[in-house]
Chain A
Amino acid sequence: MTKDDGEMVEEQKKKPCRFWIWALSSVLFRLILISYAGNLNLSSRPEVSTPLTSIRRLAEGYWLKQASMSPYAGSMYHGSPLLLSLLGPLTVQRIKGQPSHLFCSLVFVIADILSAILLRGIGKKLQMAYGLNARLLGLLKSPRDKAGILPCGDIAALVYLWNPFTIVCCVGLSTSPIENLAVILALNGAVTRRVPLAAFGLVMATHLSLYPAILTIPVIFLLGYGLDAPPLKLFLQTRNVESGNRSSTSSASKQAKSKPTAQLPFLWKTVVHFVFWALVWSLCVMVLCRLSLSKHGGLEEMFKRTYGFILSIEDLSPNIGVFWYFFAEVFDFFRNFFLIVFHVNILFMLLPLAIRLKHRPCFLAFIYLAISSLLKSYPSVGDSALYLSLWALFVNELADMKFSFFLFCGYLGVSLLSPVMHNLWIWRGTGNANFYFGNAIGYACFQIVFVVESVSAMLNHDRALKKCNPNHQKVKN
């Protein structure tokens, strides 16, 4: 017994070392790629840099600000003024002989590492919760069985660091690493029950890009109900069966055998705390934005140019999303109608998913992020990087996902064909927009299949747990 325990302790010590080796090697890999950034020319790819995340637009906005004009003049920069004051001075500093925007690349590498560390923290908590729930349900007898549970935190962090999409976004100088960091910060705060951190992350994520606002629902669920767990019914059934086993004739057991109507307690206090902190942080952010834009139109201008730009899809340059092609040909009379349709498309999926998956708020957050990165106005591969790594947090539950190889090949094929189609269309002129848009549609289809399959795999997992339970108890008997 002691020998096995010792081995386990050693293994556990080795795992963090292995993780840090892989993490540091990914940082090294990024630094090597950054020195070749000029050759790769990633920052001009539409898949990587969108009108919202491009560093060139940020540099332009900073220059306009320094020339005492509004940073939004000329419709180049559409991001947050706080990001401008943070990253702006870095875009200007150059070292002779080094690639341009070197300091910005370093900031993005740091953001990636921080996101990986925070993901690891989330994963650890989820893994602990998974093990705890499995023991409570009677599926695991001793701590030794925990070796069967995969370390989803390490896996998710390494998937995030080594995902080609993340690397490309980091080296290609798009600001999506910072947006991803804000989202992961919010989730980490919610999972580790640090309310100010969660509120800060959520407010910053919403401020930087509008769509993480939908994450308030899973974050509130995380703070109110707690971490991901199988449905409450399973626990109540287990308790009933156990109490039934112990005393089959007592009246209490007969009462307990009646249908369980208890609901999981919702911690209103924490949620109110969260709302308070969210309001505090939003007030701070608004005041700061007002300060920096006091001479250039104030908050109204900022909202019009950032959120207004995102919602009204003014820029129709091609990207890996599906909106640009459609809105290039829609008649002006119907434009507003279709804008509403496309944006409500995200909104009407929120409620049913929330109802169905409220016992798994972290997974709900992943699904929301996947849907929003599929249906947002200016998607880029940075959004996919985020939800793919969040998917890796659920390897334990989603081990039986169908079509995983098909989806992997699909993602690979789409990401390889996309630059080819772009080149054929724009540079050689032998293709046209349909080539590139076909690729974008294929990408959207793969994403949809991915989301649907993960949800069904999770629900199948819950059903399998339900089936497993009475069988397990029968065997015990």
Chain B
Amino acid sequence: MKNLTLVVMLLCYSFASSSGDSTIHTNNWAVLVCTSRFWFNYRHMANTLSLYRTVKRLGIPDERIILMLADDMACNSRNQYPAQVFNNENHQINLYGDNVEVDYRGYEVTVENFLRVLTGRHENAVPRSKRLLSDEGSHILLYMTGHGGDEFLKFQDAEELQSHDLADAVKQMKEKRRFKELLIMVDTCQAATLFNQLQSPGVLAIGSSLKGENSYSHHLDSDIGVSVVDRFTYYTLAFFERLNIYDNASLNSLFRSYDPRQLMSTAYYRTDLYQPHLSEVPVTNFFGSVMETIHTDSAYHAFSSRISNSKIKSDTPFNQPFNQLSEQDVKEDLQNTNNQNDELKTEKQKCPYSEMRADLHEKLKKIENVDTMVNLSIAVMILVVMVSSSLL
């Protein structure tokens, strides 16, 4: 019976622990890249800014977003609505509000800078706001939009990022432990070819179209005069606009929401490098920043992932079959360890000295207001000094 529970426990841990690491997920980063310039590529800017807004709304702060915009549409001389960028012809949301922080702008968006951001190999003078300061517990969302083709992505109409460059950068990131999980989302033509060469574990990639397919824009805004959003991003945003920060929708539901007929292309995703089941991964693992908090009285101690896993309470229906089993087993295991601890305690209690110490410890823990007691004792000490010095 014990062996069976152990085996099941191991299986559960291997499923429940993310990407086989012993690190825990500590923070979320987003790298949002728009690679095309010129006024007719307004929609790429709008794509990126919409995703920026979504990601910020769901909790990732500006310090952990690297926004790279290759051109300035909001203050473009052709923009009829100066300082405003829209992703819909109803002009309901102004994406270029008060708190947009662009980290790389204009001609700074180059392949070299992009790769430097990913790998973290910057010159000394590059400020922290332009660096991807992720660590081994980070989940990174990498969103790229622009013009692309078979195994390449065009940057600034002048150079291109090839799929093996991207794969190489991701491999470097993995070796330098700059991410725990990475979600690459590409919205270009023939997007799925861009992540053909990826081999690093912990990477999930989705592209808006397969090889040989184009990705299309959604609609034209006759007021502004150009298309304002791409289809893939439009339907992604449609999915997210229904969510708030507390929702538990899974990546699976996001990926299944893409309808090839509406997209006019096939949204293809590869999960062979990504261990966890997509139905168990909430979207806020990448697109937002919702962390489980475990209250502890002691500070500056790192806790192991096993404790955090055993305390996960998931309410969503698709999570129940797996986690019910794991919770029961975890409870059994905890009971077993408790029994063992009790046995050890009864052995130790035979020694009276340790009994006394244990009693003292309990009493000390019960005293809540230690500080007033200490202050009172100091006052008593000083009184005793004064009395004894005047008497003797």
Contact = CB atoms under 8 A, between A and B. Distances in A.
B388 A196 contact: yes
A48 B385 CA distance: 30
B378 A82 contact: yes
Interface stretch (B76-84, B346-354, B369-377): B369-377
A200 B380 CA distance: 13
B375 A284 contact: no
A73 B389 contact: no
A288 B364 CA distance: 12
A85 B385 contact: no
A85 B388 contact: no
Interface in A368-397: none
Given A68-B297, A294-B370, A86 B375 contact: yes
B117 to A, nearest CB: 32
Interface string A86-118: 100000000000000000000000000000000
A195 interface: yes
A67 B388 CA distance: 38
Interface string B376-392: 01100100110011001
Best-buried of B299, B364, B375, B389 by chain A (most CB within 10 Å): B389
Contacts of B381: 200, 281, 284
Nearest to B300: A73
Contacts of B375: 85-86
A73 B298 CA distance: 11
A194 interface: yes
Contact of A291 (B299, B373, B385, B388): B373
Interface string A77-88: 000011001100
A292 B371 contact: yes
A82 B300 CA distance: 24
A85 B378 contact: yes
Nearest to A62: B371
Given A288-B378, A291-B364, A294-B370, A197 B388 contact: yes
B295 to A, nearest CB: 11
A292 B392 CA distance: 31
A82 B379 CA distance: 11
B215 to A, nearest CB: 52
B374 A82 contact: yes
Nearest to A64: B299
Interface string A280-307: 0100100010011011000000000000
A123 interface: no
B378 A86 contact: yes
A189 interface: yes
Nearest to B378: A82
A197 B370 contact: no
A196 B392 contact: yes
Q: Is the interface of B mostly helix, strand, loop or mixed?
A: helix
A281 B374 CA distance: 14
Contacts of A73: 299-300
B385 A196 contact: yes
Interface size class of chain B, counting residues whose CB lies under 8 Å from the partner chain: 10 to 19
B41 to A, nearest CB: 49
A197 B389 contact: yes
A288 B374 contact: yes
B9 to A, nearest CB: 33
B364 A294 contact: yes
Interface in A293-330: 294-295
A88 to B, nearest CB: 8
Nearest to A65: B371
A21 interface: no
Interface residues of A, number: 22
Nearest to B381: A284
Contacts of B365: 294
B371 A189 contact: no
Nearest to A74: B300
Nearest to B299: A69
Nearest to A189: B389
Best-buried of B300, B364, B377, B384 by chain A (most CB within 10 Å): B377
Contacts of B388: 194, 196-197
Best-buried of B300, B367, B374 by chain A (most CB within 10 Å): B374
A194 B377 contact: no
A195 B390 CA distance: 11
Interface in B254-303: 297, 299-300
Contacts of A200: 381, 385
Contact of B371 (A67, A85, A195): A85
Contacts of A292: 370-371, 374
Contacts of A81: 374
A195 B378 contact: no
Interface string A176-187: 000000000000
Contacts of B367: 291
A294 B375 CA distance: 15
A249 B388 CA distance: 53
A68 B375 CA distance: 18
B378 A194 contact: no
A281 B382 CA distance: 11
A89 to B, nearest CB: 8
Contacts of A294: 364-365, 370
A196 B378 contact: no
A456 to B, nearest CB: 36
A294 B366 CA distance: 11
Interface in A197-214: 197, 200
Contacts of A291: 364, 367, 370, 373-374, 377
A291 B369 CA distance: 11
Contacts of A85: 371, 374-375, 378
A281 B377 CA distance: 12
Best-buried of A68, A81, A194, A196 by chain B (most CB within 10 Å): A196
A85 B378 CA distance: 10
Interface string B106-150: 000000000000000000000000000000000000000000000
B222 to A, nearest CB: 59
A292 B378 CA distance: 12
Nearest to A85: B374
Interface in B222-236: none
Contacts of A288: 374, 377-378
A73 B388 CA distance: 38
A110 B371 CA distance: 23
A65 B374 CA distance: 14
Nearest to A296: B298
Contacts of A197: 385, 388-389
Interface string B329-372: 00000000000000000000000000000000000110100110
Nearest to B380: A284
Nearest to A66: B371
Contacts of A195: 392
B381 to A, nearest CB: 6
Nearest to A284: B381
A82 B48 CA distance: 57
Nearest to B385: A200
Given A85-B378, A195-B392, A291-B374, 8 more contacts: A69-B299, A82-B374, A196-B389, A197-B388, A281-B381, A288-B378, A291-B367, A292-B371
18 contacts: A65-B371, A68-B299, A69-B299, A69-B300, A82-B374, A82-B378, A85-B371, A85-B374, A194-B388, A196-B384, A196-B388, A196-B389, A197-B385, A281-B381, A288-B377, A291-B373, A291-B374, A295-B297
Interface of A: 65, 67-69, 73, 81-82, 85-86, 189, 194-197, 200, 281, 284, 288, 291-292, 294-295
Closest 4 CB pairs of A and B: A197-B389, A196-B388, A194-B389, A200-B385
